[in-house]
Amino acid sequence: MGEGKLSFRRLSSIRHRKKRTAAKDEAESSLISSSPPPTPMTPAAVVAKAKKKAGGARLWMRFDRTGAMEVVECDKSTIIKRASVPPRDLRILGPVFSHSSNILAREKAIVVNLEVIKLIVTAEEVLLLDPLRPEVLPFVERLKLQFPQITNASGNVVQSSSLLDQEAGEGLQSELPFEFQVLEIALEVVCSLLDTSVDALETEAWPVLDELTKNVSTENLEYVRSLKSNLTRLLARVQKVRDEIEHLLDDNEDMADLYLTRKWIQQNQQSEAELGETASNLLSRATSNRSSSMVTSTTKGDDVEDLEMLLEAYFMQLEGMRNRIFTVREYIDDTEDYVNIQLDNQRNEMIQLQLTLTIASFAITANTLLVSLFGMNIPCPLYKMDDVFGYFLSSVTAVCVVLFLLTLGYAWWKKLLGS
């Protein structure tokens, strides 16, 4: 009986456990079935997720010769396809080379990296990097003033290709090509920025240096140290832009490669001539192509006068800024020399004072020696004389003064003391 009761209890406990586990499974299944379905991902979310994964998109502004502009976010591959530039040129526009200055000519574009202005210029449009920066906004405003939006009689915006055809018919004799106008605006903005920095440096330098000549203190020396650091950085910035323009002026082929509009017109004329020719004049076409290529190469190597004049104007302006910075640096060097002379003079005066005090100490030491000798218990007939103390003190003092004057005169004679 005891064993039957135990087995019955075990069976009932096993049944209760099975019921509890079944109830838990039903509750979990009901929670899973009652949970809301996952929300579908919208196209915008997919695009945002793709952009986060890509991580190479940057803000660019497209501005064409008709005045039409738009700000878009593009990655490197899109810019490379649109501007036909190699990937290494985009690295030049990146943050690693942010302090360098480059003007590179490519087959269909010009890559410009001047201070804060980073852009790619083609014969039809400008691709400007980071157009919303405060330093770049003056360049954008100058572009808008230089190239107002052009519309036809019906109010539609004129396409840049048709405007290029019109300029090709006029022979580009009225004004500079589109790419040179953009380059001129970039140089103007950069030179204006550098000129403002040079003016601020001069305004800060003169009072600080004048104050240093009057009072050589730690605070004034710290101001001069900070001033020299700013001058070195500014000189490096001006020197980089100047050297890049000088490099272009020294090579006519590099300047000729910057004529994008001319190359575009020549390619169109050559393609139209090739389409208009027939198979009967293949020989004449080859001869004309050879002669035209010779003329083109001659023109390409020689006709760079307008670009040369443009670059020389800004080269002279940068040269003037460089000379102004050198003037400030020379004034700083002169002030430092003057301060060093003042410090040397003060050091010499301290040495002379120390020598004078040393001579006086020597004379006083001699007086002390005589007094100490007479202070010993030595038999001397002077002790028995009346009123001898006054005469003795006067004579010892006179000997001390004479010794001091003799030593001082010797120092003057040897020019150890100033006149």
Separation between Cα atoms, residue 186 and residue 176, nearest integer Å: 14
Look at residue 323 and tell me if it is in a domain. Answer: yes
DSSP states of 325-363 as a string? HHHHHHHHHHHHHHHHHHHHHHHHHHHHHHHHHHHHHHH
pLDDT given at position 393:
77
* Of the residues 293, 323, 342, the one at which a domain ends: 342
Is residue 16 in a domain?
no
Whether residue 135 is found in the same domain as residue 200: yes
Tokens of 267: 């390619």
* pLDDT the model gives residue 166: 52
Write the DSSP assignment of 15-36 as a string of letters: HHHHHHHHHHHHHHHHHHHHSP
What is the rounded CA–CA span in Å between residue 38 and residue 48? 19
Q: How far apart are CA 76 and CA 165, in angstroms?
A: 30
Residues 73 and 63 in one domain: yes
Residues 338 and 359 in one domain: no
H or E segment to which residue 162 belongs: helix 160-170
Which of the listed residues 313, 342, 371 is the one where a domain comes to its end?
A: 342
**How much is the pLDDT for 26?**
55
Residue 269 lies in a domain: no
State residue 227's pLDDT score: 93
136 and 68 part of one domain: yes
Identify the helix (H) or strand (E) that includes residue 164: helix 160-170
Same domain? 360 vs 321: no
Query: What is the domain extent for residue 233?
Result: 58-149+176-259+304-342
What's the order of all strands across the beta sheet hosting 102-105?
Answer: 69-74, 58-64, 125-129, 117-121, 110-114, 102-105
Phi-psi region of 84 (alpha: psi -120 to 50; beta: other; left: phi over 0): left
Using DSSP's 3-state secondary structure scheme, residue 419 falls into: coil
**Residues recorded for the chain:** 419
User: Exposed/middle/buried for 245, CB within 10 Å: 0-12, 13-18, 19+?
Assistant: buried
Same domain, 80 and 128: yes
Are the CB atoms for 321 and 194 separated by under 8 Å? yes
Whose CA is closest to 89, among 108, 64, 70, 61? 108
Give the domain CATH number at 194: 1.20.58.340
Domain assignment present for 247: yes
Cβ-contact 129, 73 below 8 angstroms: no
Q: Is 44 part of a structural domain of the chain?
A: no
One domain, residues 139 and 192: yes
Q: Are 348 and 400 in contact (CB under 8 A)?
A: no
Domain stop point among 314, 342, 370: 342
Is there a single domain that holds both residue 98 and residue 222?
Answer: yes
Whole-Å CA distances, 146 to 143, 223, 285: 5, 42, 41
Same domain, 394 and 316: no
Burial class (CB in 10 A: 0-12, 13-18, 19+), 167: buried
Do 359 and 371 lie in one domain? The reply is: yes
Report helix, strand or coil for 150. Answer: coil
Q: What is the pLDDT along the chain (419 residues), one digit of tens a residue?
A: 444 443 444 444 555 555 565 555 554 444 334 444 444 434 444 334 444 444 468 899 999 888 888 999 988 889 988 888 888 888 888 777 777 888 999 888 999 999 889 999 998 899 999 999 999 999 999 999 988 876 554 555 555 555 455 554 444 444 788 999 999 999 999 999 999 999 999 999 999 999 998 888 899 999 999 999 999 999 999 999 999 999 999 988 888 888 888 888 877 777 666 666 554 454 455 444 444 443 344 444 447 888 999 999 999 999 999 999 999 999 999 999 999 999 898 898 899 899 989 988 988 888 888 778 777 777 777 667 777 777 777 888 888 889 889 988 888 888 888 65
Residues 80 and 192 both lie in one domain: yes
- Identify any residues that bridge with 119 across adjacent strands, giving them in sequence order: 112, 128
**In 3-state terms, what secondary structure has residue 200?**
helix
Number of domains in the chain: 2
Q: What is the DSSP letter of 174?
A: S
pLDDT score recorded for residue 41: 39
Are both 112 and 145 inside the same structural domain?
Answer: yes
